[in-house]
Each structure stands twice: as structure tokens, then as C-alpha cells.
Amino acid sequence: MSGLNVTMLRLLDVVDTTPDATITQLAELLGIERSSMGRNVRVLVKKGFVRLSEGQDERSRTAQITETGRTALAVARPLWREAQSDVAQRLGAEKDSFLNLLGSLQEQDD
């Protein structure tokens, strides 16, 4: 196990691929409120997956992935791909209909 849930995996992946992003930038990239992003990032910091540094001004913080975070991602990514593949196989012919339904639900939420 990687020690990451799906939310943590997605956030850690974005921190890894967007070096030195601020909390606000991460929130915008993932489409969630800044306050929620701050709480999610603090969980990753507490677990040692991410560290925060001072940003360009004294109120902003940037996030960087740690070696512990990179190791967790290296474990989690193939597990996530395997889970996605398993779901796709189980859905079979219904996969496209299911994905379309999810897409329409997300559009309604936006």
C-alpha cells in the first residue's frame, strides 16, 4: 500500500507535476476552494509527503514534493492504473455510458 487515498494521490500528483505551485494555484488546478486545499495540503505535510516554503510574499506558500512523497507516488500510480483497468473491465460495454453519465453530473455541478 502507498498510504495515499484517491484525494491525496491526485493532489500529490499535481504537486509533483507543478513544482512550487502556491496553495491558491493548486486549488485552481483541481477546482476546489482554497481553504479546502489548505486542509488537504496540511495532511500531506503532516505525513511527510509535501513540504511548504515561503512564496513570493509573506502570505503565500509553495508546495514541493518530498522524497517520501515521490516514493508513495511510485507505489500508488501503478496501483491506481490497475484499479482503473479493473473497473473498466467490470463495466465492459457499459463503460462509455457510465463515463458519459459521470461527465454530465460533473457539468451540472460546475
Q: How far apart are CA 25 and CA 18, in angstroms?
A: 9
Q: How far apart are CA 94 and CA 89, in angstroms?
A: 10
Which grid coordinates are listed for 96?
Answer: 462509455
Diameter of the chain measured on Cα atoms: 53
pTM of the full structure: 0.76
> Could you report the per-residue pLDDT of 35-79, keeping only the tens digit for each?
999 999 999 999 999 999 987 777 788 999 999 999 999 999 998
Total residues belonging to the chain: 110
Dihedral sign for Cα atoms in the order 63, 33, 106, 49: positive
